[in-house]
Each structure stands twice: as C-alpha cells, then as structure tokens.
Amino acid sequence: MKLIYKIFIAVVVLTGFWSCENEENLMILEPQEAAFAIITPEGGSSTILNKATPNNTAITFTWEKVSYGTPTIITYTVQFAASNTEFAAPVDITSSTSTHASITVAELNAKALELGLVPEEQGTIDVRIKSTVGTTLSEPKLSTPITINVTPYRGELPKKDLFLVGPGTAAGWSVTSNNMPIYRDPKENAKHYYTGYFNKDGFKLIEQIGFWAPAYGTNGAKVQYRATEADTDPGVFPTAASGYYSFELNLEDLTYKITPYTGPMTTYATITFTGSVLTGDDTGWAQDVPLVKSAFDSHIWKVTQTLKGGKMKFRANNSWDVSWGDNGGDILVEAGKYEIWFNDLDGRYMFISMP
C-alpha cells in the first residue's frame, strides 16, 4: 500500500513539472519595439536586368537583426509589393534564417513583370522584410519599407490560346459558341497566325471561351490588350470586305498585320490524321481519323480526340499524295485529350488541351 502511495505522489510531481514546462513553451514572444531597417540596397537604388545573364545575382538584401527578448530561431522573409499599395497584396520572394538573401536576374525579372512593370522601362517595387519565429502566439515584425527601381526585360511569354469573335467571324459577337482558334507558332509563343475567310466589319480575340476579357483588339496601328472587362474596349482588327485574309499577331511587341490572301485555294474532300498517336505504336499509321469541315470556312477542320504520346501527320483524301507535318516531318504530340484544329490553306494546326 505504501508503495502504491509513493508511485501516486511521483506521478503528481512529474505531471506538475510537465505542465510548468509547457507553460514556458507557450510564452508569448514580442519583438523589439524599435523598427529594424533594410541595410542594402538603399532606397531609390536602380537595377537594370540583363536577359543574357539570368542566373547572375541581381540584388542582395541585407537587414538588421530583430530581438525577441530570448534566444530563438528567427525566419526573415523578403516581401515585394506594387508601389503605392501599402502592401495590400505582398508577395513572398525568399526566406532565410540569416540577415541576408539574394535574388537572381531571372527571379527578379519574373516578379517585376508579375507586379506590372513594363519591359524595357524603369518601374518601382516596394520591399520590406517580415520576421517571424515558430513559437505559438509570437508577433511578426516588419521592417521599414524601401522602394527600388527595376528595369525588366521581356520574359518568355506563356502559351496562350486565342479565339476569334466579332462580326467577321463564325461566332459573331458570341463568346460561347463557334469561336475558332488562331494558330500559335509551335516554337515562338508570342507569334500567332490565321489564314481564312472573314465577313466584313472585323474581329477581336479572346483568351477564354465564355469571357470577354482578357482580349485583344486595336488602338490605331497597334494591338491593344484588355486585361479585364473594366478596361477600355479595343477596336476590331479590320476586314473592310468579306473574303480571305492572312493575319499575323505578335504579342511581344503588340503588332499585327492583316492582308488579303491570294494564295492557292485547293478544295479537299476529306482531311484525316494518322500516326502512332492512335495506338501508341507504329500500327497507328494504318488508321485514319477524319476531321470535320467548318460550315463557315471549308478550309478549316476540327476533331476532338484522345491521343497516345507519339507522332502523327495530316493528309488529304486518305492519300499520301498531299500531307502535312512539322516542316515536312512528323508532328510530336504528348499524350492527352485534345481539340485538334487544322487549316489546309497554310498547313497550320493547333492542339487545345481538353479536360
């Protein structure tokens, strides 16, 4: 009985020690009252980014150490924000447990473009450091912010699918039906092409079926980008009369060219595609999948198909007498489900990923 009593007392004492220890772990840490500063770079400093050296260090940030009143591991996070926004939407750039961090040319360029800076023009970014510790209920501390000047370069544009809309197109002013895509250059994402029939009165381009923005149109001789529906609505790419036109668009320098098409106008009874994409091996070359001809333009064809990873070509009238590929060679395709568009006037094609 005495032995049981002693064990009970020991458990009570140990439990008390454990509770006290956890209370210490839950203590609230408060950072120093005085603000801490970014040491380098100085506010107002300027950086011109060089596309030829993407892996070089663009900026090294250093800052004062923050005291939380007791030894602890502090995490510092460099944050960017669009200037004059009071960090309403801060962007975390990099984190460190030391009081310095570097960012490469490519990283800084990407963040600058995301924050709305214009390529080849000097813009400003607000910078601050946020310090935190892992202890429960600890209070973060923010540095005094600075503003830096950055001149970004044009980064590689992401792939964009662009669709026709407007009185000159099969869709009319609908953004939900009959919106044909134009054809992105397979090697340069900024360049897009379309050769085909248009009614008069022109067209615009949308990025997403069902939405009026983002969109592209004209502002005089230049391309105007409309990011949201609240932005100014651009003018139409002009087609003064019904007929066939060749259209070229460059999203990097926001230029376009549209001219009457005067090339060959061969009419084909059928367009099909064939290749290992149908079976995953060479037996696929013995099969053909027919595309459906557009009722608006007899030179535009379409089909939706799930493909294996592999090679393929388009051909006319189920014959190898007339066929199209990638500069004469096979077209390489990753596995997936696609809406496949083909233009028999210029041999261009588009694969739009489907869910």
Residues of the chain with CATH 2.60.40.3620: 163-260, 271-353
Question: What pLDDT is recorded for position 47?
Answer: 96
- Residues in a beta bridge with 341: 302, 350
**How far lies 56's CA from each of 24, 43, 77, 108, in Å?**
45, 22, 21, 11
Question: What pLDDT is recorded for position 344?
Answer: 98
**How far lies 103's CA from each of 59, 95, 123, 191, in Å?**
6, 11, 18, 30
The percent of the chain in helix, strand and coil, each rounded to the nearest 5, is: 10, 40, 50
Return the H-helix or E-strand segment holding 224: strand 222-226
Instruction: Name the DSSP class of 199.
Output: -
Which contacts qualify for 232-235: CB closer than 8 Å, 24 or more apart? Answer: 234/204, 235/202
Check if the beta carbon of residue 308 is closer than 8 Å to that of residue 155.
no
207: nearest Cα among 172, 255, 161: 161
Instruction: Name the DSSP class of 209.
Output: T
Task: Tell me how crowded residue 160 is: count the other CB atoms within 10 A of its CB.
Answer: 15
Fold of 163-260: Immunoglobulin-like (2.60.40)
Q: Which CATH number fits domain 38-151: 2.60.40.10, 2.40.110.10, 1.20.1730.10, 1.20.1050.10?
A: 2.60.40.10
Q: Is the dihedral of CA 113, 118, 119, 122 positive or negative?
A: negative
For the domain bounded by 271-353, which CATH number is listed?
2.60.40.3620
Task: Tell me how crowded residue 86 is: count the other CB atoms within 10 A of its CB.
Answer: 11
Identify residue 154 by its one-letter amino acid code: R
pTM of this prediction exceeds 0.75? no
Check if the beta carbon of residue 187 is closer than 8 Å to that of residue 194.
no
Residues of the chain with CATH 2.60.40.10: 38-151
Question: What pLDDT is recorded for position 72?
Answer: 85
Q: How far apart are CA 129 and CA 79, in angstroms?
A: 6
Q: How far apart are CA 217 and CA 195, in angstroms?
A: 17
Q: How far apart are CA 253 and CA 31, in angstroms?
A: 49
Q: How far apart are CA 154 and CA 285, in angstroms?
A: 42
Helix (H, G, I), strand (E, B) or coil at 95: strand
Q: How far apart are CA 92 and CA 246, in angstroms?
A: 45
Low-confidence spans in the chain with pLDDT less than 50: 1-27
Question: What pLDDT is recorded for position 19?
Answer: 42
Q: What's the full length of the chain, in residues?
A: 355
Structure tokens that stand for 263 in this block: 């090339």
Instruction: Name the DSSP class of 176.
Output: S
Structure tokens that stand for 70 in this block: 């007791």
Residues 20-29: tens digit of each pLDDT: 444 444 445 5
Check if the beta carbon of residue 189 is closer than 8 Å to that of residue 157.
yes
Q: How far apart are CA 102 and CA 253, in angstroms?
A: 31
Structure tokens that stand for 131 in this block: 């310090």
